[in-house]
Amino acid sequence: MKSLQETDSKIFDLIQKETERQEYGIELIASENYTSKAVMEATGSPLTNKYSEGYVGKRYYGGNEVIDLVEQLAIDRCKELFGCEHANVQPLSGSPANAAVYLAVLNPGDKVLGLKLDHGGHLSHGHPVNFSGILYNFVQYEVEEGTGLIDMDKVREIAIREKPKMILAGFSAYSRNIDWKRFKEIADEVGAITMADISHVAGLIAGKAIENPVPYFDIVTTTTHKTLRGPRGAVIMCKNAFAKAIDKGLFPGMQGGPHDHVNAGKAVAFLEALQPDFQRYAKDVIKNAQAMAAELMKRGYRIVSGGTDNHLMVIDMTSKGISGKEAEVALEKVGISTSRSTIPFDTRKPMDPSGLRIGSPAVTTRGFDEAGCVKIVDIIDRTINAHDDEAALKGIRQEIIELCKKHPLYK
């Protein structure tokens, strides 16, 4: 067989270009990370050739004796890592995982509580333009205007008033710990199913750096590629009582054939996360994020909720007289990737919001410590101050390249 370079030089060159971009750029997008060579080898393997609709030992195609072993390893390691009773490792990504859960336990029109998108939630947690908000009756809870925190007494009030069939806890832009236990107590009080979407913090939970909702919650979904540092994909974990419905919701309900090469990558990532050094990584991710938040606040930036307990923070860039989009564009020019973000009660539009979300998972993987993260904040601050000075930005770009050379990624 011919190599990629021989078959398609354009794609080969673009992959080289993207690899260079990653090598010489600082990655602060809170949902991104660098997966290991081992995970990439598994996902780039001949397992991509296989069809295996169904589950271990119950496939609709022949030739699955090896795939069954791969999927079972992924399941067993996921159960060991998170302590769940049942694991379905087939979801292709976070939204399909959530969709399969809704299909499994709800009927269209059923009521669910979920955190509002611009308060840190996720599109698939009930936003009106998303399938979740279109098909189901999501009632959204918010963070408090003064503190930026979820007020659990208010969540309880809403739950008692609305009597939802399910309560969903989870986020994509909330920097504080979630009170899983309290969510469970509230759900029990109103007879609701509990669902947690831990996509952002799964690696911190697996690394035992923050509390795990799995012992309390009925159903827990997560992507595998964020703090967990695996391949792009997701898993659904649940109590045994929900196992049959969840499996049926995912296949045949939501998906066809699983991506066996990716499931092999998930198995490798779970094995890596079971090692003691992953626990150190998870703690370092939080320390680094806290160092960045403290330095930003020292320099006059307002952080939503006043800090972070996890890997991310949302900065109100209007506290520096610039929008989230302007900040993202200026930082991109010097080689720092971030993502613009709405802030709670934002008066600006989502395409040009007030906030900027940053996170520490990727730079921590690359070996940056707290002092290194403070240095990154110094560069961010100088970039924001010089955001319309192209010559200054060019100079900072060179600094970033030199900094990246000290933290080699693939070279």
Catalytic pick among 226, 266, 325, 357: 226
223 noted as active-site residue = yes
CB burial readout 67-96, b (16+ within 10 A) else e:
bbebbebbbebbbebbebebbbbbbbbbbb
Closer residue to ligand DSN, CB minimum distance, 31 or 224: 31
Minimum separation from the CB atom of position 405 to ligand DSN (A): 28
Minimum separation from the CB atom of position 119 to ligand DSN (A): 14
Site for ligand DSN contains 383 (CB under 6 A): no
Minimum separation from the CB atom of position 172 to ligand DSN (A): 4
Closer residue to ligand DSN, CB minimum distance, 312 or 396: 312
Nearest of 128, 84, 130, 138 to residue 106 by alpha carbon = 138
Minimum separation from the CB atom of position 365 to ligand DSN (A): 17
Site residues for ligand DSN, window 152-211 (CB under 6 A)? Answer: 172
Nearest of 359, 350, 344 to residue 305 by alpha carbon = 344
Site for ligand DSN contains 338 (CB under 6 A): no
Cα angle at 97 between 102 and 277, to 5 degrees? 135
Single residue of 94, 207, 258, 353 touching ligand DSN by CB under 6 A: 94
The whole-angstrom separation of Cα 173 and Cα 179 is 16
20 noted as active-site residue = no
DSSP 261-304: HHHHHHHHHHHHHTSHHHHHHHHHHHHHHHHHHHHHHHTTPEEG
Nearest of 225, 226, 234, 238 to residue 259 by alpha carbon = 234
53 noted as active-site residue = yes
**Quick one: tokens of 198?**
């831990």
Closer residue to ligand DSN, CB minimum distance, 172 or 342: 172
Residue facing ligand DSN at closest CB distance:
31
Q: Are 178 and 169 in contact (CB under 8 A)?
A: yes
Minimum separation from the CB atom of position 96 to ligand DSN (A): 11
The whole-angstrom separation of Cα 10 and Cα 235 is 34
Closer residue to ligand DSN, CB minimum distance, 54 or 359: 359
Catalytic pick among 23, 24, 32, 51: 51
Q: What is the DSSP letter of 143?
A: B
Single residue of 27, 28, 31, 251 touching ligand DSN by CB under 6 A: 31
The whole-angstrom separation of Cα 243 and Cα 236 is 10
Catalytic pick among 222, 223, 318, 338: 223
Site residues for ligand DSN, window 105-134 (CB under 6 A)? Answer: 122
Catalytic pick among 232, 299, 333, 382: 232
226 noted as active-site residue = yes
Closer residue to ligand DSN, CB minimum distance, 64 or 124: 124
**Quick one: tokens of 403?**
């900094």
The whole-angstrom separation of Cα 380 and Cα 65 is 52
Closer residue to ligand DSN, CB minimum distance, 31 or 43: 31
Q: Active-site residue numbers?
A: 51, 53, 197, 223, 226, 232
Tell me which residues touch ligand DSN (CB under 6 A).
Answer: 31, 94, 122, 172
